[in-house]
């Protein structure tokens, strides 16, 4: 569904990730010093079978206002609309933008200034190996 090649192997002692090349027998090895892995997420099958998704299988929204590009009464956030932003911190930031913009939409005031999601994301960072 998404264009990222799947991880084939991880070598933590030497810091290397091996990715399968789609349609090829060759793999790509990428060095790393820090690695944060989140599983692939997809929208619920009900959403996937609706007119809400785009060709990538994600809810088709304006990534800044979180409002659907065709169905203006639909707003979306989280992993069904953003494949890489899957943390609670991100959802919290997106929910504040979506809530404001939904209320703005429901008020019926055309031309009201929407709030914008700035792409902010949060991910845990290891600061001590003994914890």
Assign 129 a pLDDT band (cuts: 50, 70, 90): low
- The per-residue pLDDT for range 65-84, each reduced to its tens digit, is 999 999 999 999 988 888 76
Give the per-residue pLDDT at 85: 63
Instruction: Please state the pTM of the whole predicted model.
Output: 0.66
Q: Alpha-carbon distance 96 to 116, whole Å?
A: 10
- The per-residue pLDDT for range 84-94, each reduced to its tens digit, is 666 777 888 89
Nearest by Cα to 76 from 63, 92, 86, 90: 63
Give the per-residue pLDDT at 10: 85
Task: Provide the β-strand partners of residue 27.
Answer: 20
Give the per-residue pLDDT at 11: 86
Q: Sheet of 7-11: strands edge to edge?
A: 7-11, 16-20, 27-31
């Amino acid at each position: 569904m998404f264009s990222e090649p799947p991880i084939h192997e991880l070598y933590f002692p030497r810091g290397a990730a091996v990715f399968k090349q789609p349609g090829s027998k060759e793999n790509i090895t990428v060095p790393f010093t820090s690695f944060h892995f989140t599983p692939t997420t997809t929208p619920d099958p009900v959403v996937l079978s609706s007119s809400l998704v785009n060709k990538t299988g994600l809810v088709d929204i304006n990534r800044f206002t979180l409002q659907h590009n065709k169905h203006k009464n639909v707003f979306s956030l989280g992993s069904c609309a953003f494949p890489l932003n899957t943390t609670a911190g991100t959802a919290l930031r997106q929910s504040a933008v979506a809530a404001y913009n939904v209320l703005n939409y429901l008020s019926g005031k055309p031309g009201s200034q929407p709030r914008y999601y700035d792409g902010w994301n949060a991910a845990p960072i290891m600061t001590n190996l003994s914890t």
